[in-house]
Amino acid sequence: MRRVFLGAIVFLSCFATFVRAENKTTRPPNIVFILTDDQGYADLSCYGGVGLKTPRIDQMAAEGIKFTDFYVASSVCTPSRASILTGCYPQRVGMGEIPPIPGGKPWQTRVLYRNAPYGLNPSEISIAKLLKTRGYATACIGKWHLGDQKPFMPLAHGFDYYFGLLYTPDMPPNCFVRGNDIVERDINLETVTDRYTDESIKFIKENKDKPFFLYLAHTEPHVPIAAAKRFHGKSERGLYGDVMEQLDESTGKILDLLKELNIDENTIVLFTSDNGPWLAKGEDGGLATPLKGGKGSTNEGGQREPFIVRWPGKVPAGKVSQELTVAFDIYPTLAKFAGATLPTDRIIDGKDISDLILDKAGAKTPHDAFYYYNGDKLSAVRSGKWKLKVVTTLAEEFGGYGKFEQPDAKIPRALYDLSMDPGEQKNVISEHPDIDKKLVALLEAARKDLGDSRRDMKGENVRPIGHVVLEPKPKDREAIRLWDGDAPGAQGQADADIPTITPYLPKVPTSAAMIVCPGGGYQGLAAHESSPPAEFFAEHGIAAFVLKYRLGPKYHHPVELEDAQRAIRYVRSHFGDWHLDPHMIGIMGFSAGGHLASTAATHFDYGDKSAADFIDRFSCRPDVQILVYPVITMGEGAHAGSRTNLLGDEASQELIDLLSNEKQVTEKTPPAFVMHSVDDQAVLIGPNSDAYVAALKAKNIPVEYVRGALGPHGVGMKETWTPQLLAWLIKMGYAK
């Protein structure tokens, strides 16, 4: 009996081992694809980088294969990422150059900007969609930059899970998005890499028992760069080197986790960047040594990137490939490894490079040619070791990512032997007319297939960019309702009493906005009483929004505050409609409107992230406050009419104190400009402006106080106060 029992144990043990082996061989491999942002060719130790240490990425190369002649399909973010996810040239999927944003700036065509009606077309079959046909769990963690309208977001492109920044940190506001929703605002950029790493680790742990695809698209080292404090000063390359060393640590944590979970040998890990370094940023940009050029350029430094693949037991260790490969090859190659079937109803430009990755004998590049595009302008072609460049200009070559005294200066045609001259220093076009002729013919074929806006040619085989029709933008001087339905406390409210904001838009904006609260203590004042300050703001580049708020015999607190808070939230949540900086939204008020402005500045919240109403998810804290001849206190010395209009005939002492704003100042109250005249007989200066300014100073809040014989109460809303205010606004960075 004992022998039978022991035999059974041995059998079961062998069977379990067989099952584990069977699972490893039949289950598709896990995939971790790490993409950095604006990293240079020479920003890793294993690619010749100096002044920084990247031991974990170097180890990854030592345990796998690295490619010396690997290209991304664009030298800027959006088109490069579109290419990677679709396996196509950006021009093929309509993403080589973005159509101008309605009402935007003419140069906003190289990459996508916030609130654009364009993005990666949902009809495209992304690598995530393709892998899901093989049962993969899919996650995109990090930067997206392929559209922020819902049909263009990661969840619409085959990702089960998304967490990250939709744009680069130089396109504020910097908000973490989970799924389709903003979950954190005003994030500390020093925490971003760690947050991405933690989210990646969590995803891998939760999906370790099934095939998974993790697309980890780091925000770094795109400017403004930031590293966790523990990395500050670690490298010899300044903050940029510190950033790269933290990215190396992040990569190492993921590699360690794969071993810890015993899935290392069934996981492919890939590492590259979306385009070359932003050289114009100096020490905050990377290096592409020995290559020429960087981000925005079709020189080698703009599009040739490190590429490392590690797959223990499958990819031989310590290999180097000098074969021409392209980022869009990742798409069909991963499909091959996963056992997925490529689409047959569309052109896929990528080629299967699995034989190169696996270092099979005799494996060669599958590409006869690779085309370099600047936007939709065809700029160069590589075939074999030869690269032919067409005539370009300095401005075009760096696409706004560098400054030149003569941006229109022509750069002549050139032919380079990249095997001998990867830095593109020696033009040998006159010595090889036969090569020149061959490559010109390849350029002509590309123009026919993909197009060339340099010659106004549209490609025969291109697909459209994704496009949605957005709601019309509000017009200048056209009132906007703050609520679609009834406002809070508005039962039976007449149309004349509905709170609105009326925009006064500048011709040359500064990205700042100001909510203007008229005085008088009643809603719906005559336009002439609020138009002078609104026109003043617009004249100096600040978008002004005149608030029609509810107060007076029919309405009492808190409806007036709800109206002001809604106005701030509305403008902040619609910042893209007016090209505003959501961190530069102030509030200004005169007289009783000054009380409302100061109330908004001392009674605010930072939004409810889970609110059903999208607008309510945004903060109602103003960034600055401007008070002119203001009512501040509701206590002793208060203007009797204002207190009655605000609180009614009877009010508790608790409510009076709550709305005596000199008593409500905290360290979070925003900076203030206060103007009051000793000649004001309607509102006493002492218990109002003097007391409020003293309270601000006691909390170390920056305040500019203009106090003197400035004229009676009615003067405040006229232009006599603008010189002092303009100087303050310029100092604060709000006005020109």
Q: Hey, CA dihedral for 422, 424, 427, 432, is it positive or negative?
A: positive
pLDDT mean across residues, the chain = 89
Q: What is the pLDDT of residues 416-444, one digit of tens each?
A: 999 999 999 999 999 999 999 999 999 99
Q: Does residue 639 have a pLDDT over 70?
A: no
**pLDDT of res. 645:** 72
Distance between CA 402 and CA 278 in Å, rounded?
8
Averaged over 26-31, what is the pLDDT?
Answer: 93
**pLDDT of res. 495:** 56
Distance between CA 190 and CA 283 in Å, rounded?
18
Averaged over 461-476, what is the pLDDT?
Answer: 85
The DSSP line for 272-332 is: EESS---GGGGGGS---TTSS--TT-SSHHHHEEEEEEE-TTTSPTTEEE-S-EEGGGHHH
More confident residue, 244 or 4: 244
Residue 721: pLDDT band (50, 70, 90) is low
**pLDDT of res. 718:** 63
Pairing of strands 410-411, 414-417: unpaired
Q: Does residue 525 have a pLDDT over 50?
A: no
Averaged over 541-565, what is the pLDDT?
Answer: 86
Q: Does residue 334 have a pLDDT over 80?
A: yes
Sequence-distant (6+) residues with CB within 8 A of 16 are: none
Q: Does residue 16 have a pLDDT over 50?
A: no
Tokens of 502: 């009326």
> CA-CA-CA-CA torsion for 363, 365, 367, 371, nearest 10 degrees?
170
**pLDDT of res. 70:** 98
**pLDDT of res. 143:** 98
Q: What is the pLDDT of residues 480-491, one digit of tens each?
A: 998 877 777 654
Specify which residues 36 forms β-bridges with. Answer: 273
**pLDDT of res. 665:** 96
Give the relative orientation of helices 238-260 and 192-206 as an angle to the nearest 10 degrees.
10
* Single pTM value for the model: 0.74
H or E element at residue 654: helix 653-658
Q: What is the pLDDT of residues 688-719, one digit of tens each?
A: 999 999 999 999 999 999 998 888 887 766 65
More confident residue, 174 or 384: 384
Residue 646: pLDDT band (50, 70, 90) is confident
Averaged over 278-285, what is the pLDDT?
Answer: 94
**pLDDT of res. 415:** 98
Give 687's DSSP letter: I
Q: What is the pLDDT of residues 570-590, one digit of tens each?
A: 999 888 778 788 889 999 998
Residue 465: pLDDT band (50, 70, 90) is very high
Q: What percent of the chain has pLDDT over 90?
A: 67
Q: What is the largest CA-CA distance in the chain?
A: 110
Triad 581, 584, 587: Cα angle to 5°? 135
Sequence-distant (6+) residues with CB within 8 A of 440 are: 388
As a whole number of Å, the CA-based R_g of the chain is 31
Query: Does the annotation count 583 as an active-site position?
Result: no
Residue pair 704/673 in contact (Cβ under 8 Å)? The answer is yes
**pLDDT of res. 643:** 73
Averaged over 381-408, what is the pLDDT?
Answer: 85
Q: Does residue 67 have a pLDDT over 80?
A: yes
Q: Does residue 627 have a pLDDT over 90?
A: yes
* Closest by Cα among 223, 235, 324 to 43: 235
Q: Does residue 494 have a pLDDT over 70?
A: no
More confident residue, 467 or 25: 467
Averaged over 277-294, what is the pLDDT?
Answer: 95
Query: Does the annotation count 77 as an active-site position?
Result: yes
More confident residue, 683 or 364: 364
**pLDDT of res. 528:** 43
Choosing from 88, 145, 574, 620, the catalytic residue is 145
**pLDDT of res. 445:** 98
Quickly count helices (H) and strands (E) in the chain.
Answer: 18, 29
Averaged over 533-542, what is the pLDDT?
Answer: 90
The DSSP line for 132-174 is: HTTT-EEEEEE---S--SGGGSGGGGT-SEEEE-SS-TTSS--
**pLDDT of res. 9:** 42
Q: Residue 186 is which amino acid?
A: D
Q: Calculate the alpha carbon distances from 105 to 76, 90, 108, 432, 511 in Å.
A: 18, 22, 6, 43, 13
Choosing from 77, 88, 140, 517, the catalytic residue is 77
Q: What is the pLDDT of residues 149-172, one digit of tens each?
A: 999 999 999 999 999 999 999 988
Distance between CA 626 and CA 673 in Å, rounded?
5
Averaged over 8-19, what is the pLDDT?
Answer: 44
| Length of the chain as a residue count | 736
